[in-house]
Amino acid sequence: MELTLIKTGLNDIDSQHEQLIGCINDLAKSAGTENAKEAVKIALMRLSYYAVSHLAYEEQGMTFFGYPRAAEHIEQHQFFVHKLETITEKIKQGLNTPATDLLIFMREWLLTHIGKEDVLYAEFLVSCNAAPNYKPPV
Ligand SMILES: [Fe+2]
Ligand SMILES: [Fe+2]
């Protein structure tokens, strides 16, 4: 089952999230196949890149515009990065980390972080006129 993005209405953030969704959907296609182990490694590399660039992008905006929920939001980002590091470490040690573990985690992240925290952040940016390209999600 392909995941669809919960949009924030901000083009820059939504297109970065699209990269994440693409990564998860690619992984889902490979889960359970003989390529699953390799697919997890590739997904982790892409997600690590995503974590560094996208999460930093959001956090810079929070600092710049004085987002009042920044501490809670950044804490969730740190949890995300920690979880990826944990899975990466398990794979390096040769421990069995099925693609489904990563998929479950990413689906949860999509619903609980992107669908809630990122949407709240987007609303804040709109409320302080920091998002001139905002388009209400359809
Ligand atoms: Fe976020
Ligand atoms: Fe995000």
pLDDT at 74 over 80: yes
C-alpha–C-alpha distance, residues 131 and 77, integer Å? 21
Å from CA of 7 to ligand 1 middle: 12
Query: What are 115-135's pLDDT values in tens digits?
Result: 999 999 999 999 988 877 777
Cβ atoms within 10 A of the Cβ of 115, count?
14
Å from CA of 121 to ligand 2 middle: 9
Q: Name the CATH superfamily housing domain 11-127.
A: Hemerythrin-like (1.20.120.50)
Confidence of residue 104 (pLDDT cuts 50, 70, 90): confident
Proximal ligand: closest to the CA of 76: 1
Å from CA of 57 to ligand 1 middle: 9
Domain spans of the chain?
Answer: 11-127
C-alpha–C-alpha distance, residues 99 and 111, integer Å? 19
What is the residue-averaged pLDDT of the chain?
Answer: 85
Q: Is 114 helix (H, G, I), strand (E, B) or coil?
A: helix
Å from CA of 17 to ligand 2 middle: 6
Å from CA of 77 to ligand 1 middle: 6
Confidence of residue 26 (pLDDT cuts 50, 70, 90): confident
C-alpha–C-alpha distance, residues 73 and 109, integer Å? 12
